[in-house]
Amino acid sequence: MSIAYFIMAHHKPTMLLRLMNAIYSQDNLYLIHADSKADEVLIELVNHLAESNENIRILPSRALSWGGWSLVQVELDAIRYLLSWSGDWNHYINLSGQDFPLASQTVVSKFLSGHQNNYFLFDKVDPEKVVNLQNRYCIEDIDGFQRIGHRKPFEQYFSSHIVQYNSSQWRIISRAFAEYATTSYLSFEMQDYYRYTFLPDEYFFITLIMNSPFAATVLKKNMRFIRMESTENILRHATTLIMDDIGYLFNGDALFARKFDDEIDSNVIDFIENALLR
């Protein structure tokens, strides 16, 4: 069974290299996107990886803005690319350049082979949060994005049976849903709506799948260990994992974790690398 990985990187080339070494298998496909704002060192590394391995390719670069539509568009571009690249892969996994596996590719493949038709996303419904974040138009520009005039509620754009969800942007999806996400009429309708919203990467895919024929096959866990920073702000971020977190990383069924930074704590990455070799 083959896995299609999509890796988004914008800095920290040594982290990207360690990630690629940890998840690489000749059986899988790897598509890397380097942000157009990335430095030359990262670009050179990505080019070298693609030139040295037939199953590693580069997605044409675009500028990505946190909170903007570009994060969804680059994934749709990646999924279309991977679908046209090969008909052999069964699951799609998205990662950032600062993610790291907690299991070997043999273990990951064996696990997914037992879940051929499942979709791993963390979903939740929080109507108040949805209203607060989606009540204004958001337009991306060169400096990020701008929030402008008020817009109609989600319910006025879609049929009454369409329910909005939000989730983590990290997911594992099957090839069947990947095809649906890039070809269905509902997807195109939702692309038109979410193109001008805030944090669409946390809404688009989960809302699409939960209102699709694939909804019943969703498993409500994304197979990631992510520790969120405690804050009163509604917008939280993943905290950098360190050696103090080791006891939690392997105390569950997560296949991947984020985020790591070898400039802050390289020991935790060393530990995981050694664990994967056992």
Confidence of residue 29 (pLDDT cuts 50, 70, 90): very high
Q: What is the pLDDT of residue 136?
A: 76
Residue type, 261: D
Q: How many domains does the chain have?
A: 1
Using CA atoms, how far residue 215 sits from 11, 163, 194, 204, in Å, is 35, 12, 20, 14
Q: What is the mean pLDDT of residues 24-39?
A: 94
Q: Which domain holds residue 30?
A: 2-277
Q: What is the pLDDT of residue 144?
A: 65
The string of pLDDT tens digits covering residues 34-55 is: 998 888 999 999 999 999 999 9
Query: Model pTM?
Result: 0.93
Average model confidence (pLDDT) across the chain: 89
Confidence of residue 125 (pLDDT cuts 50, 70, 90): low
Q: What is the mean pLDDT of residues 206-223?
A: 90
Give the domain CATH number at 194. Answer: 3.90.550
Q: What is the pLDDT of residue 151?
A: 83
Residue type, 76: L
> Which residue from 25, 2, 249, 29 is spatially nearest to 112, judged by alpha carbons?
2
